[in-house]
Structure 1
Amino acid sequence: MKNFMDSEFLLNTETAKKLFHNYAEKMPIIDYHCHISPKEIYENKKFKNITEAWLYGDHYKWRLIRSTGIDEKYITGDSTDYEKFLSYVKALQTAIGNPLYHWTHLELQRFFGINEIVNERNAELIWNKANKVLQDGLTVREMIRKSNVKVICTTDDPTDSLEYHLKLKEDKDFDVEVLPAFRPDKGLSINKDGFTDWVAKLEQASSKKIDSYSDFLEAMESRIDFFHSVGGRVSDHALDYVPYMETTKEEVSGIFAKALKGEKVSFEEETKYRTYTLKFLGKNYAKRGWAMELHMNAYRDNNGRMFEKMGPDTGFDSVNDSNVSVPLSKLLNSLEKENSLPKTIIYSLNPNDNYVIGSLLGCFQGTEALGKIQFGAAWWFNDNKDGMLEQMKALANLGLFSSFIGMLTDSRSFLSYTRHEYFRRILCKFIGDFVENGEFPNDEELLGKIVQDICYNNAKNYFKMNI
């Protein structure tokens, strides 16, 4: 029997152990997509206790706790932080198979030096030990440094001033690059409440009056230029469904005019607006050498009562099963026809799309980067051992696995950098199995290079990071 989460955790062969300890373990991190706060990095936030660091804003953990049937008071409500901590401990202690079980123990081991098993017997001891480490100086910046992070790409609305990114660029005491990523979802959500209010914010941010769709596009392009000037080289889009419908600028201008008056548009009109706007953005990304991330097939805010009470991103989302293959192919092809397809990273929340994505990659590769069109790392509900292995298998079966740009946190927690270790262990297990089964040569130099490229070098080159 193997020991619980020891140094050989998930490393089931000698090749896997060698690849992880000699090549993967100490590689730096480029976190090219996350949801952490640049303000908290700039201010070097100090957490008052482990609950604040662990549970505030973490809907992964909230969902697990809710499964125990406990009152919301002890999850996101007005109970004490220690009571919330206990509710998580009680939920986690029997969560066999849930990746949170491993992530949580990795966080305790790597950041706090705590090797106790998370359970009710150890709860008070863990609480006291972790809080002492936090009080002794484990700040946000120290968490980032301990994780060997070189670059962080946050997720930022086009109307954002990027105040804290600019301040961090001038901060000589912090040598980690914190770069903005352009997230224009609100600009594509033409039917959502608040769209006209957001357009007003865009007017203010761009210093441009928006009376027409042409004005709107000019304002968006000016914000792309601003992000570029601050170091932004990545955009991100949450496409719960993939829009594609042939249209013209004239038709979309009329649709935009209706929305600007506060009118709702039809689903067909929304799809045409999204298609044309997304293509316009894609062309601008390509012109500047940016990468475009597409996150697809989430179904959000399923629980209407809880959405009314708590709002979005609180743990009530699920996997969608909308059609991806045809609209995604047409979207990519429409940009490719105009020689304007940017570097693109494609994620789907539905693992049934793995072979759709894996096979589409080979249709649109180019000379702009190794693996110009990427199959993004296993995302959200797939961010577990099985999900990662299935994504790796699909990519290896259908494309060039060695060109993969690897892991990202996609997290709101500064403790989540241990997910890179989790990923790297699974990566080494995946490659090690091929070698030990006689399916790939035992060429350590080549294997080590592939591992280090996927862990770090491919992302560095893909995003053209000067680090």
Structure 2
Amino acid sequence: MNSTQTTTKFIQEDFLLQSDMAKVLYHDYAKLMPIIDYHCHLSPKDLAENRKFENISQIWLAGDHYKWRAMRTLGINEKYITGNGTDQEKFEKWAYTVPYTMRNPLYHWTHLELLRYFGIDELLTADNASEIYLESTRQLQMDSHCTQALLSGMNVETVCTTDDPVDSLEYHQKAAKDGMSIGLFPTFRPDKSFAVEDPKSYGNYLEKLSAASNIQIDSHEKLMAALENRIAYFHENGGRLADHGLEQLYFFPMETYDIESLFKKVSAGQSINADETTYFKFITLLELCRLYHAKGWTQQFHLGALRNTNERMLDTLGPDTGFDSIGDFSQSKALAQFLNELDKSDQLSKTILYNLNPRDNEVMATMTGNFNDGSIRGKVQFGSGWWYLDQKDGMEKQMNALSNMGLLSCFVGMLTDSRSFLSFPRHEYFRRTLCNLLGNDVVNGELPADEKWLGKMVQDICYRNAKDYFNFQ
């Protein structure tokens, strides 16, 4: 790069590392550990086919609602966000936005990603946008910047995508057949199987699930048989995790309603009331969790998102376009009752709980201890800072709550939760934050300066705990 802009290098070697111990822990212990990204939304097709993106906008801006929200806040027209602006115009509008994102994690992520993937250490602005667009796009045409090489360059060992029960998993199969060096595994995401709020959409989904499972779904019992069929299919293709995006978990006394009667109503296109809807979700999810346990899977619950708040923009752009926020749902009581219902029969799988509202950090951290029974190290986990909490302050608060209420040393660590192939420096960001947290404790005399033990703890959290916990084959 030959910009006339005068800058000092922003992302320095010791970025975010404020003490000598933090620097040692990061550079000597955390930095070189492989990455197990056990929850993301990457396209398995793009990875298995080793896609080469045409330009940086396509790989970096498309689908990134973090960036979209920032651009809208700055007053940028939707044409340059999700509209029909050219790819270069969209990038230039993002470059214009970047200086205004200072103190938002987007500012750090942006410059980490430009540096790690493209060797660009300039601060991105409107002035150098065209030059950086052309240089990054030039590099993206090289074999070193195809999707598999991008991940390999970040030392990614394993990726778990998020997949609907009806998905064919053909690209996971292709990756395995081709001997791709990165492990690519599916994650079972059955949210649509109990989304009975809209009976018409639900009926359409049942048809797809019937076709995928080769089971005619005419009862709730057959619904569960079809889901069990697909769980077996995912298992055959390396799947060892399930994931659920919920406002909150639910609990009812058993047989509050007749589940088969509810199914008949919904499958006939009839609406059911709010309590009946929640009960349907509860029973279906409870039975799913028992099926996961039978397979030895890990179940994940992402709790607390308030989705699709802007009806006008939902009608215009659809879901997952940047109009979701933190919800303030009650979490603890029903969550405890749900987990307890599974634990009573010793059918509680390894479980990871993620909250989106930071007020629930201590709730989640203490909830895990209720159901850790000594059978598995860290059986029930308080998951990493998620979505709006996936930033330095949010990660520190999550780790402090976990440290105070449980065992940080058993934590399975970070994930990207991303749709972008350029998002893996988030693991570096987490690792630097972790090492800085521990290093500051040493400086403050709150932890001993035991480099070897702290280094082992760091490596466990960054890699080994996840490696042992998930046991991917």
Q: Per the shorter chain, which TM-score range?
A: over 0.9
Which of 403, 411, 414 is residue 396 of structure 1 equivalent to? Answer: 403
Matched, 1:114 2:120: yes
Contact (CA 8 Å) 1:378, 1:388: kept in 2 or not? yes
What corresponds to 1:124 in structure 2?
A: 130
Q: Deviations over 1:138-166 (max 9, x none)?
A: 11111111011111100000011111111
Letter in 2 for 1:330: Q
Identity of aligned residues (%): 48
Question: Which AA in structure 2 matches 1:408?
Answer: L
Hey, what does 1:416 align to over in structure 2? Answer: 423
Cα deviation code 1:366-397 (max 9, x no counterpart): 34421100000000001111000000000000
1:88 is aligned to 94
Instruction: Quote the residue 2:5 is aligned against.
Output: none
AA partner of residue 12 (structure 1):
Q
Among residues 43, 48, 69, which one is paired with 2:49 in the alignment?
Answer: 43
Report matched runs for 1:10-409 at 5 Å: 10-137=16-143, 138-172=145-179, 174-192=180-198, 193-248=200-255, 251-409=258-416
TM-score scaled by length of structure 2: 0.96
| Kept after mapping to 1: 8 A contact 2:93/2:126 | no
Residue 250 of structure 1 and its aligned partner are, at CA, apart by 6.8
Q: Which contiguous aligned blocks of 4+ residues in structure 1 show a shift greater than 6 angstroms?
A: none
Deviation readout 1:183-240 (Å, 9 max, x if unpaired): 0000011113511111111100010111111111111111111101111000000012
Q: Tell whether the 8 Å contact from 2:36 to 2:158 is kept in structure 1 after alignment.
A: yes
Q: State whether residues 233 and 289 of structure 1, in contact with CA within 8 Å, keep that contact through their aligned partners in structure 2.
A: yes
TM-fit CA distance, 1:78: 0.5
Give the Cα separation in 2 of the matches to 1:369 and 1:87. Answer: 49
Supply the distance in 2 between the matched residues of 1:274 and 1:213 (Cα, whole angstroms): 12
Rounded Cα–Cα distance in structure 2 between residues aligned with 1:50 and 1:160: 28
SS in 2 for 1:93: helix
1:111 Cα deviation after fit? 0.5
Question: Which of 452, 456, 465 is equivalent to 2:459?
Answer: 452
1:370 is paired with a residue of what secondary structure? coil
**What amino acid is the match of 2:260?**
S
Counterpart residue type for residue 371 of structure 2: F
For residues 99 and 207 of structure 1, the distance between their equivalents in structure 2, rounded to whole angstroms, comes to: 46
CA distance in 1: counterparts of 2:469 and 2:325, whole angstroms: 30
Q: How many angstroms apart in 2 are the aligned matches of 1:265 and 1:169?
A: 43
Q: Structure 1 residues 152-161 or 189-198, which shifts more?
A: 189-198
Structure 2: which amino acid aligns with 1:218?
A
Q: Name the structure 2 match of 1:425.
A: 432
Distance in 1 (CA, whole Å) between partners of 2:30 and 2:260 is 51
Counterpart of 1:345, as a letter, is: I
Q: What secondary structure is seen at the aligned counterpart in 2 of 1:405?
A: coil
2 CA distance for matches of 1:301 and 1:153? 26
Is the contact between residue 303 and residue 316 of structure 1 (CA under 8 Å) also seen in structure 2? Answer: yes
Deviation string for 1:340-376 (max 9, x for gaps)?
Answer: 0111000011001001001111110034421100000
**Structural RMSD (CA):** 1.2
Measured against aligned partners, the alpha-carbon deviations of 1:268-311 in whole angstroms (never above 9, x if no partner) come to: 00111111111111111111111000001100111100100111
CA distance in 2 between partners of 1:202 and 1:47 (Å): 32
CA contact 1:343–1:368 (8 Å) conserved in 2: no
* Matched residue SS, 1:39: helix
Residue 249 of structure 1: CA displacement?
Answer: 8.8
AA paired with 2:28? N
Contact 2:372 2:380 (8 Å CA) reproduced: yes
In the aligned structure 2, how far is the partner of 1:247 from the partner of 1:304?
35
Contact 2:257 2:279 in 1 (8 A): no
CA distance in 1, matches of 2:375, 2:195: 30
Q: Which amino acid aligns with 2:163?
A: D
* Equivalent AA in structure 2 for residue 303 of structure 1: N
Aligned-partner Cα distance in 2 for 1:143–1:261: 48
- Secondary structure in structure 1 of the residue aligned to 2:53: coil
For 1:378 and 1:390, the matched residues in 2 are separated by 8
Matches of 1:18 and 1:424, distance apart in 2: 12
Q: Secondary structure at the match of 2:100?
A: coil
Q: Which amino acid letter does the alignment assign opposite residue 462 of structure 1?
A: Y
- Alignment size in residue pairs: 464
**Other structure's SS at 2:301 match:** strand
CA contact (8 A) 2:299 2:350 kept: yes
- In structure 2, the partner of 1:441 is 448
Cα distance in 1 for partners of 2:162, 2:388 equals: 20
d(CA) in 1 for partners of 2:58, 2:220 = 43
Q: Does the CA-based 8 Å contact 1:405-1:455 persist in structure 2?
A: yes
Give, in angstroms, the shift of residue 465 of structure 1.
2.6
One-letter amino acid of the counterpart of residue 251, structure 1:
D
Shift of residue 4, structure 1, vs aligned partner: 2.5
Secondary structure of 2:101's counterpart equals coil
State the one-letter code of the partner of 1:51: S
Hey, what's the Cα distance between the residues in 1 that align with 2:230 and 2:421?
A: 28
Task: Return 5+ residue gaps in structure 1 as ranges.
Answer: none
* Cα displacement (A) at 1:3: 6.2
